[in-house]
Amino acid sequence: MKTETTTWSGNPARWDTGTPGKPVETTRTANVGTTFKPGDRVVHAKFGPGLVLRSMKQRDDEEVEVFFEGHGGKRLSAALSGLKKS
């Protein structure tokens, strides 16, 4: 099972929030039953400090998307990654 995949790069503060004339997603699913919430600051042993962008329950685990400065975005298994809130 692959647990870490780069999916983004750049600074999340600069990400485009939409293109004029195109709809922007405005609804989000609630993070019911997840340990990590969007906006949480976290620390990973290899990637260092990061910011949680999204978290979803995946069977008996949690899939967490985190932006790490200098490493970009990663999609991690909460159970396998050792991710900790800071």
DSSP string computed for 26-68: ------TT-S--TT-EEEETTTEEEEEEEEEEETTEEEEEEEE
Higher pLDDT pick, 42 / 9: 42
Give pLDDT tens digits for 18-53.
555 555 444 445 566 789 999 999 999 999 999 999
**φ, ψ of residue 85 in degrees (nearest 5):** -70, 145
Task: Sketch the domain layout of the chain as residue ranges.
Answer: 1-7+35-86
Mean pLDDT of 52-70: 94
Name which of 59, 52, 57, 58 is nearest 37 in CA terms.
52
**pLDDT value of position 33:** 78
Mean pLDDT of 58-77: 94
Higher pLDDT pick, 81 / 25: 81
* CA gap 58, 42 in Å, rounded: 19
Mean pLDDT of 57-82: 94
CATH code, 1-7+35-86: 2.40.10
